[in-house]
Chain A
Amino acid sequence: MTTPVLANRSDPTSSAPVGDSPPSPRSALRGTQSGASLMTRSESVVWLLGGALVICLAMIVGLLSLIVWQGLVTFWPRPVVLIRLADGQAVMGEVVREETAEARTETPPHDVQAQPARRLLLRVGNYELTQEHYRWVSDAQTDGQPAERPAWAVVFERMAWGRFYGFPKAFLIGDDTIAQTPAAVWAAFQKYHSQVRRQWRQRRRLEHDEAGEVNRLMEQARLRLKKFELEHGKDSPQWKAAHAEFETIQEALERRFARIRHDIETIDRWNSRYQLRVETADGRETTLLLKDIVRAYPANRLSWLDRWKIYGARWWEFVSAEPREANTEGGVFPAIWGTVVMTLLMTTAVVPFGVLAALYLREYAKPGLAVSAVRIAVNNLAGVPSIVFGVFGLGFFCYIIGASIDELLFAEKLPSPTFGTGGLLWASLTLALLTLPVVIVATEEALAAVPRSMREGSLGCGATQWQTIRRIVLPKAMPGILTGMILAMARGAGEVAPLMLVGAVKLAPELPVDRVFPYVHLQRSFMHLAFHIYDLGFQSPNSEAAKPMVFTTTLLLIAIIAALNLSAIAIRNRLQRKYEPGHF
């Protein structure tokens, strides 16, 4: 801390240019300095400097706390309020936002009154009845009564159409009504819901895995036939033999498919018997099928424990389930999985080559102008916009390398491209190229930090250069290399611009790595967390509904990147300690 100690000493007027004018008697009397010391210290400018730092930090803190707060509260079950309007209507839903000032923007479609003093944005759901998910309610519209919290208002999260807010009226199995009062209906719901959902999961497994497998086998058979046609020509004897085989396979598969279809229909019939009659706040009655309900809870009767349970369940769904409703509901598991697989592939591609390049530059190349020029160039590539790498990836990997691979190996699938379009492999390679400078620079720095004496000692003992590098230099540089690797992963995980060109998609039907041979599908396009954010926030038709999801996804992504960064720091510290005794 230089400031206070030294500053005190420099306070006297020596630096002021008017040394010859005697200090005024008053200041001499009180033993303090004259005003000139104020001028030399320029306190106000220093405050401005500090202010700049405070503003920077305030923005960072503000931004992070906004994301963390918004991301964390999204899944918290909120109470359901019922507001009766002056015109006799009633709206029920969760309060999303409250505004007090007169609003210039976002003129809501239902805001009939001008200049509302206070208005609420309600998530009212029931899309199939009202054609809206959200609704503004201003104070002027209400009849003056405070908002109620009806005890049996139940929130239903559904597979389609978004949420439903209503009162349970009856529970039906087939044509039998087994419960009539809300409490009884709720009890019946809890009793049967898990059972129905289990059946539903079974059905989904049938549809997704078994039917999917049939489709895949059918496609394989078709492609084999196409291959014969390309190789031997149509109507050739080989083709005819292949065609006969194809027809037998097709027949078998169709039989199998019919069986699966039958199973699915059975389950559907069984599931559709369980029904719930519900009434909206307006008194309209409708029927919900139990199998379509993901989750339901009486929002105003929840204990704290229940709330935490729902909160936890929603988070679990978020990280483990597939998206629903154009990505605005459900989970982001495919995106997490895509991000992880892509990042790992990228890392396996970038680290060996980055380390090789750095080893060459630092250990083998003769230092000189050329090497420093290459070093500057590599350094600068870290500053080249990521979109440029995306352009390169699309033009070179997808359109040139990918198209050649297609022609050589996947001719029977043409004209639909296999590798000739964006996919996991090309995305990983593009990002590997993008992060290569990071790894090279970090590794070089780590290699440069290994003391020369250690190298010379090793060589002096008779080790070859490779032995020196392998046994002495690389272990010593390992923390730095790992740091570079993790920083590259952090950068790669958050890049979107190149991915938009080389393979990230809004919704991928299949995972890039799954249980189907050959397990890793390099040609598949994939979902990615950062792209998910862009897509939800920017291209979603219902951006109000997407906003909470964007915040949670952002929180997840930032958490992953922060974890990567922090682990880089931790690994560096640990390894540094581990290799510390080796230093001499």
Chain B
Amino acid sequence: METDCPKRPPSKVRFPERAVPAGPRRRQRVTPPRVRWADRTARTLITLGGLGTIAAVLLVGLFLVWVVWPLFQPERLAPAARAAIPFFGAPLQTIVDERSTMFAVVFGDGRIEAYRADTGERVATEQLFEGGSNGERLSAWTFSPRHGTFACARDDGQLCMGRIGFATSFVPPKQVPRDVRLKLDAAGSGASGLRPDRVRPAPRKPPSEACAVFRSGILQKTPEGQYRLQQLQVEQQAPLRRKGQAPVVLLDQAESARGRVLAYLTADGRLHVARTVERKNLLTARITVRLREGSCPVTLPRGQLPEYLLLSGLGDTVYVVWSDGRLQRFDTSQPQRPVRAGTTDLIEEPSVRVTTVVFLAGRTSLAVGDSLGRVRIWFPAKTGQRDAADGAVLLCGHQLWASRAAVRRLAASTRSRLLAAAYADGAVRIFQVTTERELASVSLPRSERAVNTLMLSPRDDHLFALTNRELFAWRIDAPHPEISVRALLGRVWYEGYPEPEHVWQSSSGTDDFEPKYGLMPLIFGTLKATFYSLLFGAPLALLAAVYTSEFLTPRTKAIVKPTIEMMASLPSVVLGFLAALVLAPVVEEVLPELLLAFATVPFAYLFLAKASQIGCRELSAGIGRHLQRLRSAGALKRWADWFIPLRSTALRERWHTAGMILALPLGLSLAVWLGPRVERWLFAGDIMAWLDRQTGSGLGAWFLLLMPLSVLMVAIGFHLWLRPALRPVAASWSRQAFALLDLAIFLVVCAVTVGLASCLATGLTALGWDPRGTVVGTYVQRNALIVGFVMGFAIIPIIYTVAEDALSAVPASLRAASLAAGATPWQTAARVVVPTAMSGLFSSLMIGLGRAVGETMIVLMAAGNTPLMDWNIFNGFRTLSANIAVELPEAVKDSTHYRVLFLAALTLFALTFVVNTVAEVIRLRFRKRAFQL
């Protein structure tokens, strides 16, 4: 505060708080140390506390940014290990364990070996077909990492199934050899087997532990101090009996709801589909597996067998792919009878070859790599056109084209939409498929370009590549790969959708579900709610504010204004509950009447206003005189004074007030009376069925939409042409006669408005257009109309208060000058007061908008909460705020979902902050100007 500064003596004086610093009589009295100390302490405390409090409040925004920030961090591939491997060439399959400590390799001769993931050291060896291995080789092989099951075919034609996995067990510390224990303890539980990234440690992940080879497995020390052992585990079932003896060339398997499904192609070009049936012998408890199979021939172009065979996740579709890009699709929803469902060309160019095909997680989308370096994602979608047997078409949803070198290997994540690709030029890239984003890329050294195997670890945290001689491992640093600005705000083509769309769907019952974080439907919902509530609330609040400040007596104003202001502290949950449980059922009953009321209530007001001009003045003067006589005769009691004032002008005021109060029920009852008639005329007698497009034509909808337009056009026309033309008439006619004329004109104008709207509506309907399904459409009980009503009501107090303050701040001198110059109160209000207060009124609207944007409880309870993008006023929606309230309690901390919800909160925060700041700055500027006037 500046009050203490100027009187202070120069700084050399030791006690600046001295009471009288300079004067003829220098007092030696000094401020007692206690007081001085108290003052200093208070100053420090208040400064610290004040600044701290303000900082804490501003921290809210910063904290939101801090949580959201990792969403937009660039992804990286950090080198984690490089080691020599003791085998050469491409194995059939590699499988990484859950913790990325080891991987198993399946070779063509049925050997399965486990290697350490960081050093490439061999840990264990197992052999398929034990005892019966007479140099047979595997002719076909398939493995599903999700279930850990494999199926294989030997070149003698036998089919086998089994399971490969990694068993986890905990070893008591006493059984761990001392040297191993010391080594693990020395490494500490923070050290990783894979080389840790020195630049940036993996955020918020339990550090993987140093490991050692122990009992043909990998031993690790957990952060809790236990010793955890990972071991390779292979189970094999007895060979299956199958029909026919032709050797199996290609094989795939899937887990359907009714058991495992196998699909295999034999060398004679037949596709076989088999469901496995397990039988348990009750006596011996032995399980026998039988195949229930069916087959169908595959059309072989030029007698060539296909290169790839893939069976979808539910076992209901088989894809057969040739290297020239031909794809045949079979519908195998009944495994006993596979049906050919269609053919697709995956590649248009004749010379380009398909180099690799894999399924993405969920086994629905195919990722096809070709020799041009493209990776295309194909998935079936129902487009509505019935050219395929099952109504679905294979669509190319995404194309990832980052290089001209041929794609060599693809590896799809088993839990997300990550896809890793190795190219012929030694580049390795990872992509997020849905957003078509290349997340990161690395290059292999020149000598080791040919990647034989590419694998993603089950947790998506490591990427492994095997070349002929070496093993490469990278840590994937991509906590939120599916998020980008485009994915959040743009249209995204999700699996199974016929086209790119804005979708918000954060959770689902199934495991293979891909969360869809399109914020657009929520932003749309927020805007829809704000728009409709402002449409209803803003005009009412502004008009009421003008009336309060310009036409009400101070005594009435002193009652009315606090009443409305008190409503601002009405809890919004109350309004939400009333909207959902009281208003929504009622509105559903009286919808036509309600829609009509928007026209009839203003009509009633205008009509009564015009009517009151005719005789009110003379009548009130006459009655006034009469009352005067009664009063002087003592026939009236004291209390009657309020009701029957002395002056005729005051009497007229009372009449007007009574009229204004009466007009509302009048308009409403007019609506109720007209309602059924209009419903029969426009909406075929039942507005619900009509909105659902079951009955009637588009006439009613056009009428609804064109009515406001027609009112606007007629009003403009009236003011531009009719009013100037009326002026000479008005001047020459008597007041009463003109009032009659005015009323007649008003009725004619109303008729013209309705006529214009119905003419236009008839014309547009005759053209065959029907707007149902756009702004009006199927009625849902909790909808935008209800929210518009109730939220409009909720924002009325705040808009009203700020607007009224702005209007009252207009100096009285301006009003007085205008009135003195002969302007009527209306002219003063419309041409002097409102323009002066315009910026204040604008700022009141902005503040109301800010309030509507963030309102939670009303929309949560009354909006139905379906994330749709639909302008239909009779349909529900979901706003950002309601979405947070619904989903945040269930979101896992630090997950993508959690951060996206924080982003939604940040959006709300930023939006309201900006809107409010603009409003506040405008308001302050207006206030300054008003004081200057």
Q: Which residues of A contact B (CB under 8 A)?
A: 1-18, 21, 23-24, 26-27, 30, 32-60, 63, 66-67, 101, 103-106, 352-354, 356-367, 374, 376-381, 383-392, 394-396, 399, 433, 436-437, 440, 452, 455-456, 459, 461-462, 464-467, 469-470, 487, 490-491, 493-497, 500-501, 530-531, 533-534, 537-538, 543, 547, 550, 554, 557-558, 561-562, 565
Instruction: Supply 27 A–B pairs (Cβ within 8 Å), ascending by A.
Output: A6-B825, A7-B649, A10-B824, A34-B731, A49-B544, A50-B660, A51-B602, A101-B589, A104-B588, A364-B47, A364-B50, A376-B924, A379-B916, A383-B854, A386-B856, A388-B905, A389-B60, A391-B888, A436-B53, A436-B57, A455-B3, A464-B35, A467-B38, A494-B573, A538-B577, A538-B580, A557-B571
Distance in Å: Cβ of B429 to nearest Cβ of chain A: 34
| Cα distance, A157 to B260, chains bound together (Å) | 57
Task: Using known A-B contacts A364-B1, A391-B901, determine if residue A40 contacts B826 with beta carbons closer than 8 Å.
Answer: yes
Q: Is the pair A465, B39 in contact by a Cβ cutoff of 8 Å?
A: yes
* CB-CB nearest 6 A-B residue pairs: A385-B854, A360-B50, A35-B738, A462-B19, A494-B571, A52-B543
Q: Which residues of B contact A (CB under 8 A)?
A: 1-4, 7, 17, 19-20, 31, 35-36, 38-39, 42-43, 45-47, 49-54, 56-60, 63-64, 67, 539-544, 546-548, 551-554, 560, 563-564, 566-567, 569-574, 576-578, 580-582, 585, 588-589, 601-602, 605-606, 608-610, 612-613, 647, 649-650, 652-653, 656-657, 659-661, 663-664, 688, 723, 726-739, 741-742, 746, 781, 793, 796, 800, 815, 819, 822-827, 830, 847, 850-851, 853-857, 860-861, 881, 884-885, 888-889, 893, 901-902, 905, 908-909, 912-913, 915-917, 920-921, 924
| Cα distance, A51 to B668, chains bound together (Å) | 13
| Cα distance, A66 to B1, chains bound together (Å) | 51
Q: Is the pair A465, B824 in contact by a Cβ cutoff of 8 Å?
A: no
Q: Is the pair B730, A56 in contact by a Cβ cutoff of 8 Å?
A: no
Chain B residue nearest to A396 in the complex (CB): B63
Distance in Å: Cβ of A492 to nearest Cβ of chain B: 10
Distance in Å: Cβ of A201 to nearest Cβ of chain B: 33
| Cα distance, A487 to B568, chains bound together (Å) | 11
Distance in Å: Cβ of B664 to nearest Cβ of chain A: 6
List of B residues within 8 angstroms of A106 by Cβ: 585
| Cα distance, A492 to B53, chains bound together (Å) | 18
Q: Is the pair B571, A496 in contact by a Cβ cutoff of 8 Å?
A: yes
Please tell me which one of the listed residues B64, B656, B822, B851 contacts residue A14 in the complex, with CB atoms under 8 A apart.
Answer: B822
Q: Is the pair B582, A565 in contact by a Cβ cutoff of 8 Å?
A: no
Tell me what chain A mostly uses at the interface: helix, strand, loop, or mixed.
helix
List of A residues within 8 angstroms of B861 by Cβ: 534, 537-538
| Cα distance, A177 to B577, chains bound together (Å) | 49
* Contacts between the two chains (Cβ within 8 Å), count: 424
Q: Is the pair B850, A383 in contact by a Cβ cutoff of 8 Å?
A: yes
List of A residues within 8 angstroms of B653 by Cβ: 3-4
List of A residues within 8 angstroms of B742 by Cβ: 35, 38
Q: A538-B860, A538-B861 are in contact. List 20 more A-B contacts (CB 8 A).
A: A3-B653, A3-B825, A34-B732, A34-B733, A34-B735, A37-B824, A40-B823, A42-B824, A44-B746, A57-B563, A364-B1, A384-B909, A385-B853, A385-B881, A465-B39, A491-B569, A493-B571, A494-B572, A550-B577, A565-B566
| Cα distance, A467 to B39, chains bound together (Å) | 7
| Cα distance, A1 to B656, chains bound together (Å) | 15
List of B residues within 8 angstroms of A41 by Cβ: 824-826
List of A residues within 8 angstroms of B589 by Cβ: 101, 103-105
List of A residues within 8 angstroms of B3 by Cβ: 452, 455-456, 459
Task: Using known A-B contacts A43-B609, A47-B663, A391-B905, determine if residue A383 contacts B912 with beta carbons closer than 8 Å.
Answer: yes
List of A residues within 8 angstroms of B609 by Cβ: 43-44, 46-48
Q: Is the pair A537, B581 in contact by a Cβ cutoff of 8 Å?
A: yes
Distance in Å: Cβ of B353 to nearest Cβ of chain A: 51
Please tell me which one of the listed residues A35, A395, A455 contacts residue B734 in the complex, with CB atoms under 8 A apart.
Answer: A35
Q: Is the pair B649, A4 in contact by a Cβ cutoff of 8 Å?
A: yes
Chain B residue nearest to A52 in the complex (CB): B543
| Cα distance, A48 to B608, chains bound together (Å) | 10
Chain B residue nearest to A458 in the complex (CB): B3
Q: Is the pair B822, A361 in contact by a Cβ cutoff of 8 Å?
A: no
Q: Is the pair B738, A395 in contact by a Cβ cutoff of 8 Å?
A: no
Chain B residue nearest to A102 in the complex (CB): B589
| Cα distance, A36 to B567, chains bound together (Å) | 41
Q: Is the pair A53, B853 in contact by a Cβ cutoff of 8 Å?
A: no
Please tell me which one of the listed residues B49, B608, B650, B826 contacts residue A4 in the complex, with CB atoms under 8 A apart.
Answer: B650
List of A residues within 8 angstroms of B920 by Cβ: 376, 379-380
List of B residues within 8 angstroms of A10 by Cβ: 819, 822-825
Chain A residue nearest to B737 in the complex (CB): A35
